[in-house]
Amino acid sequence: MAILFVLLWSTGFIGAKFGLPYAEPFTFLLIRFWLVAAILLVLSLVTHSTWPRSPREIIHLVVTGLLIHAVFLSGVFSCIYSGVPAGITALIVGMQPVLTAIAAGPLLGETVRRRQWLGLVLGMIGVALVVQNKLLLGPEYVKGFVWSCAALLGITAGTLYQKKFCSMTDLRTGTLVQYTAAGIALAVAAPFSESMAVAWTGEFLFALLWLSLVLSVGAIFLLYTLIRKGKASSVAGLFYLVPPCTSLIAYFLFGETLTLYSICGMIIAVVGVALVIR
């Protein structure tokens, strides 16, 4: 399950690269969120899923949806759209396991062992080596850097919040509430910040369907299941594997070069994750 999650999650950067030339970030995500919400609504009705039973449960789901879907994905898409290389975005967001490990103790009562701290450090080193050839940023990337930091805070806070308050909610209806909340947020933000023009090309449709079905349903369900079954710090450690995996996919799809440093970084990141989740 963990391996499948990493593989699917890594394709998110590839999907963004395919789709963002044809729609602005908020507009792209707005269409994606409402499409996913419609799919989950049908799935919930057909399977007779259990709906949230209290206003407090709904509020918790809304908060998680805004953090994981609205803030995180808007940050990643806006960062890539502004011109920051996907590797740099992945590196910044890849700091999530460290933040999660630091916060998991006081917030969730989880114990992070010395072995896990060593794994987290190795993971950081591995990720840095994978994207080291893309680390030269100019002042024009400041806006993108701010967006990527917002994405990092969103996915970190969202993972912890999901673990603490939403672990027992039905995945189908709970995720539906989350995407609906994120869709409403972007429906407010997009008209004020973007033209909302969309070029409905084959590439855009492919990216939209892939990100909606495979990422927003498949990968998210896997993530929430992993969070439900394991420690938040251990699950977060899997995100160290995303930049190396994304680099491999980009190598085969777009012919991007893999340096010796990148290959060494992938190996170190894998060792680090093994120490964290062992």
The predicted-structure confidence for 155-166, as pLDDT tens digits, reads as follows 989 988 988 888
**What pLDDT, on the 0 to 100 scale, is given for residue 243?**
77
The yes-or-no verdict on residue 116 having pLDDT over 70 is yes
Residue 117 confidence class, pLDDT cut points 50, 70, 90: confident
Q: Alpha-carbon distance 79 to 89, whole Å?
A: 7
Question: Percentage of residues in the chain with pLDDT exceeding 90?
Answer: 44
Kindly provide the b/e burial profile for residues 157-172, where b requires at least 16 CB atoms within 10 angstroms of the residue's own CB.
bbbbbbbbbbeebebb
What residue numbers bound the domain in which 162 lies?
Answer: 2-277
Structure tokens at 24: 């602005």
Q: CA 213, 218, 224 angle in degrees (round to 5)?
A: 135
**Mean local confidence (pLDDT), 138-164:** 84
Q: Model-level pTM? A: 0.84
Question: Is residue 196 within 8 Å of 16, Cβ to Cβ?
Answer: no
Structure tokens at 196: 């909302």
Question: For the range 111-115, what are the long-range contacts, defined as Cβ-Cβ under 8 Å and sequence gap of 24 or more?
Answer: 112/233, 115/275, 115/278
Number of domains into which the chain is organized:
1
Q: Alpha-carbon distance 212 to 164, whole Å?
A: 26
| Cα–Cα nearest to 29, from 187, 191, 141, 159 | 187
Phi first, then psi: what are they for 198, rounded to 5°?
Answer: -135, 130
The yes-or-no verdict on residue 106 having pLDDT over 90 is no
3-state class (DSSP) for residue 249: helix
Q: Alpha-carbon distance 177 to 166, whole Å?
A: 12
> Residue 198's beta-bridge partner residues?
23
Q: Alpha-carbon distance 144 to 150, whole Å?
A: 10
Phi first, then psi: what are they for 23, rounded to 5°?
Answer: -160, 145
Residue 60 confidence class, pLDDT cut points 50, 70, 90: very high
- At 229-240, the pLDDT tens digits run 877 667 777 877
